[in-house]
Structure 1
Amino acid sequence: MRVLFTAFFFLFSAAALAETKPVEVKITWKGDYTHNSSKHWSKDNLYDSGFSKNFKNGAPEEFGEVQKDGELNAFIYSPKDSKGPVPFVILLHGCDGLGTLAKEWGRHVADVLNSQGVGVLVLDSYTTRYVDNSCGLPDLHWGRRRADDAYSALDYVIEKKLGREVYLMGYSNGGTTALVSMTTQEADHPHHFAGAFAVAPGCSPSLQHSALYTRPIVVFMGDQDDANNPKWCEELTKKKRSVPVQMIEYQGADHGFPENAPTREVHGWHLSYNSAAEKDMMQTIISAIRTKKFVKGVELR
């Protein structure tokens, strides 16, 4: 029965895909918070410069440019016939930016969630900064930089009365950003997320293991991920926390499990789609949004 329901659910979502039309908007970036600094990026300040009051902060991916203010591109997918604020998810791309594959994944996530009455805002952190990608060591820097991107989008959704109970979801570096966004260091924002879904994030011990989180988190990861170490995420999850932090680890899945694309090698990482893991992840997210129930610990699936 569960198999039949799952098949029907995703066939319905696929059928609705053609009807999903995003509204493109510009979001004013906000970074003037006490947790941020005016220090520019330097080789001696690789990651702390991620907490910046500048839209562009002189990172190599920005060709050293510094810019105080800026805007971000975003695409809003609203449930059909929705009236008034609905549950919302802000979706963050990975280190390669919002290219063709990331856009297709964003549309798919929006389609599945829209069919369940959940709105989606797909946020583009790189185009208006003229950044091609942030893959590699600066990835940690950008996980911090993009937290204020996420909160700028949250402010937009709240101020436009589009959403209520807004969640943050990110893939790869977007997943790292989701983790950073839930820390006490980001608590000085006027609005807060209801929780976060971090897909294949980097759980670097230097950034995450001592972090104090303010909202529930679910980490989704494949045990064969060779881009971000799943063992680090397991250790992060097992630490005693004041809020629920859960890791769902898919057996036989790698870093590419959420994106429906051919098997490939990118930046030296093995990426392949895992349909069962991706569908289970989306069902788990829908259930968490509906029930508002989050649990702790590592679960193998």
Structure 2
Amino acid sequence: MKSIFLLMLLFLSAATSAEEVKIPWKGDYPHNSNKHWSKDNPYDSGFSKNFKNGTPEEFDEVQKDGELNAFIYSPKDVRGPTPFVILLHGCDGLGTLSKEWAAHVANVLNPQGVGILVLDSLTTRYVDRTCGPADLHWGRRRADDAYSALDYLIEKKLAKANEVYLMGYSNGGTTTLVSMTTQESDHPHHFVAAFAVAPGCSPSLQHSAIYTGPIVVFMGDHDDANNPKWCEELTRTKRSVPVQMIGYQGANHGFPVNAPAHDFMGWHLSYNPAAEKDMMQTIISAIRTKHFAKGIEFR
């Protein structure tokens, strides 16, 4: 109980420094279409020009325009544009655990001079969760969310245009992989590199993808929500940019989130502090040095 109380105090102290903003959503790009979701078109409709595109999670509603909630954690005593990480939540939205994880990421990266924008893809769409088969569709839908946040940071002169990174967990990790494909290259700004945490590396989405920048995939070898073997196969594919997978032995899908062990939709989730610490140190080193490796490494 004491440890939980201290964790909440840490979260609340960090949360007080977060600025809540509204981000205009942009989706009118050549790679998208006006085709609505249907049972016969469950995944390609993820590339949509509509903010809401008629999915079951949206109660079949279609809406052309919209905006997204976001929370910005800026480094203290830093003036002018800074390096930034846009952080994407998993399929169950920006709930309490996701907010605590986001605050922790900010507490680690802000002292390094790196800002954090925590993006909420679900609340303004009135969506509770996108888990299960819908995960593939929403990985595509949310890519335009990430680019809308990127445009916001650059237009507001908060971030350096060539130093914005994308980081996502679970469905946010899948979104991260989709966002780095050449299919998304018609956006005016681009991410310098990306960190995909426990993503879905589904062969139907990822293996033939051509990426526009370096990617590091962090995966527990006991992940029973997203198949680690698929991420290994993705990493082994020859590419023009560095793609690395770091696998954590004995870790499962919940390894980065400091929460009591529990099951969610049949998946086993438990915190692995050694793996989480190593992941954050790896990310800090990559941002500092701009060095990205290739291949698979188990730690």
Aligned pair 1:267/2:265, yes or no? yes
Aligned pair 1:119/2:103, yes or no? no
Q: CA deviation at 1:127?
A: 0.1
Paired position in structure 2 for 1:171:
169
Paired position in structure 2 for 1:190:
188
Aligned pair 1:18/2:13, yes or no? yes
| Matches of 2:65 and 2:255, distance apart in 1 | 36
| Residues 1:94 and 1:15: Cα distance change in structure 2 (over 3 Å) | closer
Q: How does 1:255-294 map to 2 (within 5 A)?
A: 255-294=253-292
| Matches of 1:71 and 1:15, distance apart in 2 | 29
Matched letter for residue 44 of structure 1: D
Q: CA deviation at 1:286?
A: 0.5
| Matches of 2:83 and 2:166, distance apart in 1 | 11
1:214-237 CA distance string (max 9 Å, x none): 110000000000000000000000
SS of match in other structure, 2:75: coil
Asked whether the 8 Å contact 2:170–2:198 carries over to 1, the reply is yes
Identity %: 81
Paired position in structure 2 for 1:103:
99
SS of match in other structure, 2:112: coil
Q: CA deviation at 1:15?
A: 7.5
SS of match in other structure, 1:198: strand
1:182-241 CA distance string (max 9 Å, x none): 000000000000110000000000000000001100000000000000000000001000
Q: CA deviation at 1:168?
A: 0.2
| Matches of 1:81 and 1:196, distance apart in 2 | 26
SS of match in other structure, 1:82: coil
Asked whether the 8 Å contact 1:171–1:201 carries over to 2, the reply is yes
Paired position in structure 1 for 2:53:
57
SS of match in other structure, 1:27: strand
Asked whether the 8 Å contact 2:176–2:194 carries over to 1, the reply is yes
1:47 to 35, 43, 48: 43
| Matches of 2:221 and 2:255, distance apart in 1 | 11
| Residues 1:15 and 1:255: Cα distance change in structure 2 (over 3 Å) | closer
| Residues 1:60 and 1:16: Cα distance change in structure 2 (over 3 Å) | closer
| Matches of 1:114 and 1:44, distance apart in 2 | 45
Q: CA deviation at 1:18?
A: 2.5
Aligned pair 1:225/2:223, yes or no? yes
Q: CA deviation at 1:17?
A: 7.7
RMSD: 1.2
1:91 to 87, 99, 113: 87
1:211 to 209, 218, 230: 209
| Matches of 1:16 and 1:239, distance apart in 2 | 40
Paired position in structure 1 for 2:4:
none
SS of match in other structure, 1:101: helix
Q: CA deviation at 1:115?
A: 1.1
Paired position in structure 1 for 2:3:
none
Number of residue pairs matched by the alignment: 288
| Matches of 2:62 and 2:76, distance apart in 1 | 41
Asked whether the 8 Å contact 1:139–1:173 carries over to 2, the reply is yes
SS of match in other structure, 1:44: coil
1:83-123 CA distance string (max 9 Å, x none): 11111000000000000000000000011000111000000
| Residues 1:15 and 1:117: Cα distance change in structure 2 (over 3 Å) | farther
| Matches of 1:60 and 1:24, distance apart in 2 | 28
1:23-68 CA distance string (max 9 Å, x none): 0000000000000000000000000000000000000000000000
Structure 2 residues not aligned, in runs of 5+: 1-8
Asked whether the 8 Å contact 1:16–1:111 carries over to 2, the reply is no
Asked whether the 8 Å contact 1:226–1:254 carries over to 2, the reply is yes
| Matches of 1:201 and 1:78, distance apart in 2 | 26
TM-score in terms of structure 1 length: 0.94
Paired position in structure 2 for 1:144:
140
SS of match in other structure, 2:23: strand
Paired position in structure 2 for 1:7:
none
Q: How does 1:145-160 map to 2 (within 5 A)?
A: 145-160=141-156
Matched letter for residue 88 of structure 1: F
Asked whether the 8 Å contact 1:17–1:108 carries over to 2, the reply is no
SS of match in other structure, 2:252: coil
